[in-house]
Amino acid sequence: MQLIEGKVVSASVLDQVKKDVEIIKEKHGITPGLEVVIAGDDPASQVYVRNKVLKATEMGMHSAKHELSNETTQEEILGLVDKLNNDPKVHGILVQSPPPPQIDERSVIDSINPQKDVDCFHPYNVGKLLIGDEDGFLPCTPNGVMAMLEHYDIETSGKHAVVLGRSNIVGKPMMVLMSRKGKYANSTVTMCHSRTQNLEEMCASADIIVAAIGVPQFVKENMVKEGAVVIDVGINRIEDASKKSGFRLVGDVDFDNVAEKCSYITPVPGGVGPMTIAMLLKNAVTACCLQHGITL
Ligand code: NDP
């Protein structure tokens, strides 16, 4: 069994991002910029946003965060996105999910200039992804998984991949990326969700499993074929009295019992997690290049 280490793969992506930022600054006199909007005080979201801004700054980018209160209005958030859409120093805009319940998240995403949509959530970019037009952005977490497969030179062509979960953020784009034409793709993908029958058998027949359902340690030993590749996107908190915090993070895969059967497996934490932010910053560089007609 080989561990797929997110830290190693993300470091190589970030290394390239840093180099690209330097080239853009030196050759074109432009600093790629990423600004993040966060509404409300969800502690996990606050941590994610802080990390994104810090990492962007570390890469030599311009970065800033805009904090709105829990009571923010649709008008206020749309007004801010409009301002960022028109700010030439901002190449990428990210609105941290989830916003407070009074906000219609869909219309906020729709209001982001597609050229600045570094999360790749805007319908324009989702459509481009679906038709295989890849001169724009790819969604961060699924594209991070693809980068891991490539980094470890994992054969995917003709393989049966089972994607667990059908969210717009992970499951659906994951299915599209794995089934598209090309190297480290060309898989035959089965997408499973909460209404899937025979889900265990489906998983047990998979060469590659990508788990993204948000159910702690859901994928058990009997659901994994000998030699399968298992990618665990899940990040779940479970109680753990032995920890100071009272909890620990686990994935959607029962790692301790599944790992031995796998040819490759991602840990949680330290697997897919670090990839998301690396791919986000890569998208911010792409956004800058798109807006200024720069070819790297
Ligand atoms: P969502 O809650 O949006 O979607 C969950 C999906 O899993 C749904 O399609 C749901 O089915 C399906 N599902 C839920 N329970 C079951 C079950 N028992 N059997 C089969 N399918 C089930 O989650 P996300 O896609 O946003 O996130 C999934 C996980 O990935 C979470 O743990 C999240 O924290 C993590 N995540 C990690 C990221 C990273 O950077 N590593 C980034 C984004 C997410 P249905 O549609 O039928 O309801």
The whole domain housing 177 covers 140-274
Q: How far is the CA of 212 from the centre of ligand 1 (A)?
A: 5
Of 20, 15, 138, 39, give the one whose Cα is nearest residue 98: 39
CB within 8 Å of 261: residues ≥ 6 apart: 1, 221, 224, 225, 226, 227, 228
Same domain, 93 and 179: no
Residue 291 within any structural domain of the chain: no
Ligand 1 lined by 171 (C-beta under 6 Å):
yes
Please check the confidence at residue 138 and state whether its pLDDT lies above 90: yes
Asked whether residue 169 falls in the same domain as residue 265, the answer is yes
The predicted-structure confidence for 207-259, as pLDDT tens digits, reads as follows 999 999 999 999 999 999 999 999 999 999 999 999 999 999 999 999 999 99
> Of residues 52, 116, 172, 282, which has the active-site annotation?
52
Average pLDDT over residues 86-94: 98
Pocket test for ligand 1, best of 10, 52, 233, 237 (most atoms within 8 A of CB): 233
Domain CATH for 222: 3.40.50.720
**What per-residue confidence (pLDDT) applies to 251?**
98
Residues 144 and 245 in one domain: yes
- Say how many domains are in the chain: 2
**What proportion of the chain, given as a percentage, has pLDDT over 90?**
98
Cβ–ligand 1 distance for 148 under 6 Å, the answer no
From the CA of 66, how far away is ligand 1's center (Å)?
27
Do 67 and 184 fall into the same domain?
A: no
Co-location of 199 and 260 in the same domain: yes
Average pLDDT, the chain: 97
> Residue 36: what pLDDT?
98
- Does pLDDT of 101 surpass 90? yes
Can you give the pLDDT at residue 192?
98
**Residue 135: what pLDDT?**
82
Q: What distance in angstroms lies between residue 49's CA and the mean position of ligand 1's atoms?
A: 20
Q: Are residues 234 and 198 in the same domain?
A: yes
Q: Residue 272: pLDDT band by 50, 70, 90 thresholds?
A: very high
Q: Could you read off the pLDDT of 14-68 as tens digits, one per residue?
A: 999 999 999 999 999 999 999 999 999 999 899 999 999 999 999 999 999 999 9
Q: Exposed, middle or buried: residue 270 (CB in 10 Å: 0-12, 13-18, 19+)? A: middle
Residues with Cβ within 8 Å of 275's Cβ and at least 6 positions away in sequence, in order, are 6, 9, 10, 13, 140, 141, 144, 145, 147, 148
> Which tokens hold the place of 271?
């697997």
Q: What spacing in Å lies between the alpha carbon of 45 and ligand 1's midpoint? A: 17
Please indicate whether residue 96 is annotated as part of the active site. yes
* Residue 52 known to be catalytic: yes
pLDDT digits (tens, 9 = 90+) for 160-180: 999 999 999 999 999 999 999
Q: In the predicted model, is pLDDT for residue 136 greater than 90?
A: no
Give the closest residue (by CA) to ligand 1 atom 16: 194
Say if residues 218 and 251 touch (Cβ distance below 8 Å). no
Residue 144 scores a pLDDT above 90: yes
Name the domain boundary from 65, 81, 115. 115
Tell me which of 52, 82, 115 is where a domain ends. 115
CATH code for position 59: 3.40.50.10860
Single out the catalytic residue among 55, 116, 117, 119: 119
pLDDT of residue 134: 78
Q: What is the pLDDT of residue 151?
A: 98
Q: Is residue 175 lining ligand 1, measured as CB closer than 6 Å?
A: no
**Mean pLDDT in residue range 83-110:** 97
Q: Which residue, 56, 80, 83, 53, is CA-closest to 68?
A: 80
CA of 211 to the centre of ligand 1 (A): 8
Atom of ligand 1 nearest to the CA of 166: 9
Residue 89 domain-assigned (yes or no): yes
Whose tokens are 């923010």? That residue is: 72
